[in-house]
Structure formats: structure tokens, C-alpha cells
């Protein structure tokens, strides 16, 4: 049974969410502060996190950013703000989805189900040591990539970017996500490094197969594998 972490400081709302998701067939755990949530995430794996932004201790924003540094667990943010600037910021920080208060219980259950489907490993990952997407295959042990058997000459960073996105083909990765995962350092808002490597990767992919587009730009958010 999939376990979901509910991060909400209001005990009544937290209990309600736990009960709702429990009735939906999920196992739930409750955290009442940002600090408690991060501790629990460091000690146990969860299929999904439902995260309220207004928290004591560590804020919801801090929990979101620090969780992204730990893992790729899907995160649905609950926010009282419905403006575009806030929602774009949440997605750029690594949120997978968001709900604006007050929200419909059935909508929450639907969004949870969608994120859990996206987080399920695809059938392309069934071959040990290899990932496939369309006619693109990467060999994780040899650090090689192929399109219809033709080898791509990728740099270490290009391979890591492709590996990360192919491992989660439906996820939109922010530039922050990509930089911190593939470069291993803190992202300071310099888009150029990520943009240049994505551009080079696209060029190498299109050189072998110019009729197929593999990487999609999600404007204002980041990049994902193109269905």
C-alpha cells in the first residue's frame, strides 16, 4: 500500500486529509511542522507528499526545496494563493502540482492518483541496466546512449541530464532540479549552464534522428521528455 506524508500544522485539517486518503486506499503519516516533515522524509520513503505552505519551524517553501535536494518524491502543495506568479514559483521550486484552498476532496484524490501514476516506474525501465524512450536507449553501466542502435557522443553532463529525464519521463524538471541533480551544487539562478547543455543534447539527438523531438520545453517551468 502506498504511503503518503501529510504536512499540515492544523491538526483538524491534517486529520481530515489523513482520513480522506485512508478511505481512498492509502496509508498516511502526519507531520505538523516543516522541521518534523524533513526529519520524517530523511528517515523513511514516501510515495507522495501533500504539503501546506504555512508551517511553523521550517516553512513550506524550505521543505519543498530541501526535499527536492533529498529525493524526487512527488509533492502536491496546498496554497491559499491563486495568482500565477505564486504557482509558477512553486513549480520552479520543484512542486509537481498544487491545490488552492478551499479545494474539493475529490479533486485532491484525483490529483494524488495522477501523481502516483507518474511516479510509477515505466515499463521502459524493465530491462536491468537500461532505460528506453521511443527509439532512444541508454546503457547505465556503460554510460552510452543510442538511437536505433546509432551511438550518441555525449558528455558526462549530457548523459546525466538525459538519464534523469528518461528515468521520470512524465515529470517536468525545473532548471533548479536539473542543476542540483547533475552538477551537485546549489542553483543560483544562472540559466545559461543548463540551457547550453540541453541545447547541445538536443543537437546531438537531432543529428542522428532529425524527424523526432525528444526533449520538450515547458515554458516558464523547465524541461521534460516529449511524449
Q: Render pLDDT for 134-169 as a digit per residue (tens, 0 to 9).
A: 899 998 888 899 998 899 999 888 999 999 898 888
- What kind and span of H or E run contains 50? strand 48-52
pTM: 0.56
pLDDT at position 183 over 90: no
CA dist 161 → 98, 137, 206 (Å): 25, 14, 16
Judge if 115 and 128 occupy the same domain.
Answer: no
Q: Which three cell numbers stand for residue 189?
A: 539562478
- Pick the last residue of a domain from 70, 101, 119: 119
Helix/strand/coil percentages in the chain, nearest 5: 45, 20, 35
Structural domains counted in the chain = 2
- Pick the last residue of a domain from 119, 147, 180: 119
Determine which of 12-21, 33-42, 109-118 has the lowest per-residue pLDDT on average.
Answer: 109-118
Separation of alpha carbons 227 and 215, rounded Å? 9
Judge if 106 and 185 occupy the same domain.
Answer: no
pLDDT at position 84 over 80: no
Judge if 144 and 106 occupy the same domain.
Answer: no
Judge if 159 and 213 occupy the same domain.
Answer: yes
Find residue 30's DSSP bridge partners: 6
Determine which of 110-119, 146-155, 187-196 has the lowest per-residue pLDDT on average.
Answer: 187-196
Q: Contact at 8 Å (CB) between 138 and 162?
A: yes
CA dist 121 → 78, 124, 126, 168, 175 (Å): 25, 8, 8, 8, 22
Judge if 161 and 214 occupy the same domain.
Answer: yes
Separation of alpha carbons 221 and 132, rounded Å? 24
* pLDDT confidence of residue 121: 45
pLDDT at position 125 over 80: no
Burial class (CB in 10 A: 0-12, 13-18, 19+), 85: exposed
Separation of alpha carbons 222 and 227, rounded Å? 15
Range of the domain at 210: 124-225
Q: Contact at 8 Å (CB) between 33 and 55?
A: yes
Amino acid at each position: 500500500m502506498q504511503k503518503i506524508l501529510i504536512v499540515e500544522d492544523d491538526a483538524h485539517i491534517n486529520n481530515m486529509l489523513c482520513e480522506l486518503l485512508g478511505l481512498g486506499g492509502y496509508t498516511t503519516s502526519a507531520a505538523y511542522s516543516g522541521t518534523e516533515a524533513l526529519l520524517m522524509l530523511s528517515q523513511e520513503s514516501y510515495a507522495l507528499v501533500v504539503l501546506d505552505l504555512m508551517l511553523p519551524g521550517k516553512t513550506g517553501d524550505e521543505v519543498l526545496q530541501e526535499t527536492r535536494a533529498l529525493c524526487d518524491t512527488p509533492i502536491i502543495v496546498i496554497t491559499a494563493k491563486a495568482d500565477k506568479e505564486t504557482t509558477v514559483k512553486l513549480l520552479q521550486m520543484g512542486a509537481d502540482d498544487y491545490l488552492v484552498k478551499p479545494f474539493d476532496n475529490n479533486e485532491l484524490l484525483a490529483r494524488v492518483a495522477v501523481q502516483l501514476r507518474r511516479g510509477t516506474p515505466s515499463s521502459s525501465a524493465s530491462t536491468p541496466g537500461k532505460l528506453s524512450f521511443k527509439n532512444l536507449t541508454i546503457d547505465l553501466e556503460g554510460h552510452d546512449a543510442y538511437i536505433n542502435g546509432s551511438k550518441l557522443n555525449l558528455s558526462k553532463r549530457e548523459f546525466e541530464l538525459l538519464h534523469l529525464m528518461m528515468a521520470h519521463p512524465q515529470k517536468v524538471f525545473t532548471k533548479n532540479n536539473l542543476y542540483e541533480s547533475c552538477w551537485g551544487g546549489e542553483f543560483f539562478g544562472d540559466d545559461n549552464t543548463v540551457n547550453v547543455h540541453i541545447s547541445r543534447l538536443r543537437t546531438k539527438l537531432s543529428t542522428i534522428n532529425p524527424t523526432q523531438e525528444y526533449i520538450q520545453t515547458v515554458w516558464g517551468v523547465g524541461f521534460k521528455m516529449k511524449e
